[in-house]
Amino acid sequence: MPVTRRFPKPVLLGLAAVALALVFSACADFKDGSLSATQPGEVGPVRVHFELCTAAIPDPGCQPNGEGGQSQYMLGVAVPQGSTAPATITAQPKGEGAAIVYTRNDEVARKISEEESTPEESWPPAGTEAVGYLSAVFNEEEGQMREWNVDADFALPGGAEGGSFAGPFTAYVASGWRRVDTTYTADRPVDCSESTGEPSNEQVSDCELEEEKEVGTSDLKIKAPSASAAPGGQATLQFGLDFASTASSLPSFKLAATSSLPQAGVNLASSSFSPAAPDPGTGRSALSLDNVTVSVPAGAQPGTYDVTLTATTAAGGSVSQVGKLEVTKPQSPPPVAVAKLKLGKAKLNLAKGTATLPVSVSGPGLLTVSGKGVVKAQRKATGPKTLKVTIKAKGKAKKKLNATGKAKVKVKLVFKPENGAPVTKTKSIVLKKKLT
């Protein structure tokens, strides 16, 4: 549950100062009890809200302006160290009247720190950093009672070692006012306790600590991965989901993934994420992983492309992270070896009617010998070498050889290497046999 605490306001002025305060006719004052802190998106920035109203000092509560004039307003907001504060804050009027626009001003934060700190309590409180704002010149309207809403979003700080922020988030607010006229110009240095001096010693500026609000928060950090793939391949990017929370209820997330690689196929291992219960001591959940697989088109151009994972809550809070996919150059196929086949001079065996043909091959592979009227034969080579192949007749060629002692055959030799295209040669050989 959110916690609210009213600051013990230091005694800035003695009894004489109380009398001086009576000259304050009115100003846009912090409305007691109006401070709240929420996380509208369930993750993401914390919204600090409070209200202002015209106050006839020293009367309490909202009152019509007692007189007109010009003023500037000061705000001090203390938030957890590392939070990101907005550059401007606008107090929007309820109903009629002008808005009050505040702009970041480090001098305001410093002066509030110097003048509002006490021995019992310092500003900003330990573990926080103060941000100051100074408004543009504002025209007070005599007799008018005005109220304003102030909403300012502060981004969560990073957690330990760059991880998610467990919370809680505590916001402290201080406010101030100063007169603007020809004597007290809008460009003068900031001072929280200016007075006109003697004889009236009228006070023309004031700062005051207001309230504190604490809210439990949830935070999700997504760790950015990288991967690579060649065109026509796939790559899997593993996103780490780092969640922490001190909120009373945990959000769940819808996951979506996209890629800047044209025509890429993008697939999520899971389309949703429900964080595990955080550790009570640290507020952190165990790290979860979600894989995004990207199918790279065959014609993809080499380069580095974004792969974005986005986690969205039901309340609209969103966290994104961009991984990097490197599409590499297509791999060139290994060079194809050109097989070589060299035929030697056939040596005849007249007794058997055969021929021995020396065949030189360029590497490992299979040599096949065939042809019309030739007995088919195969020889295997384990490397570059000369194989000796026996040529034997068959069929009509064999009958002719046995009848006449001579037969002409045409031999076809095919060498198929282990890596490369086959090569073919032919050779005519006249077989001879000594007849008895």
In the chain (436 residues long), the average pLDDT of successive 10-residue segments reads: 40 34 58 95 97 72 81 96 97 93 96 86 91 94 89 94 92 94 94 85 89 97 96 96 96 98 96 95 94 96 97 97 95 73 93 94 93 94 93 93 92 90 92 88
Q: Which of 327, 349, 365 is the last residue of a domain?
A: 327
pLDDT at position 338 is 79
Give CA separation, 381 vs 97, 175, 336, 361, 391, in Å: 99, 94, 18, 8, 18
Looking at the structure, tell me whether residues 250 and 378 fall in a common domain.
no
Looking at the structure, tell me whether residues 251 and 293 fall in a common domain.
yes
pLDDT at position 373 is 93
Residue 407: CB atoms within 10 A of its CB come to: 21
Q: Write the CB contacts of 332 (distance below 8 Å, at least 6 apart in sequence).
A: none
Looking at the structure, tell me whether residues 266 and 226 fall in a common domain.
yes
pLDDT at position 23 is 39
Looking at the structure, tell me whether residues 299 and 341 fall in a common domain.
no
Looking at the structure, tell me whether residues 57 and 89 fall in a common domain.
yes
- Tell me, yes or no, whether 267 lies in a domain: yes
Looking at the structure, tell me whether residues 51 and 117 fall in a common domain.
yes
Count of domains observed in the chain: 3
pLDDT at position 199 is 79
Q: Which of 174, 198, 215 is the last residue of a domain?
A: 215
What is the extent of the structural domain holding 399?
Answer: 337-432
**Residue ranges of E strands in 107-233:** 128-135, 138-140, 147-154, 169-180, 205-215, 218-223, 226-229
Task: Please tell me the distance from the alpha carbon of residue 11 to that of residue 6, in angstroms, as a whole number.
Answer: 15
Q: Which of 327, 354, 376 is the last residue of a domain?
A: 327
CATH code, domain with 247: 2.60.40.10
Looking at the structure, tell me whether residues 306 and 227 fall in a common domain.
yes
pLDDT at position 56 is 54
- Tell me, yes or no, whether 402 lies in a domain: yes
Task: Please tell me the distance from the alpha carbon of residue 197 to that of residue 272, in angstroms, as a whole number.
Answer: 66
pLDDT at position 58 is 53
Looking at the structure, tell me whether residues 24 and 45 fall in a common domain.
yes
CATH code, domain with 387: 2.60.40.2550
Looking at the structure, tell me whether residues 177 and 210 fall in a common domain.
yes
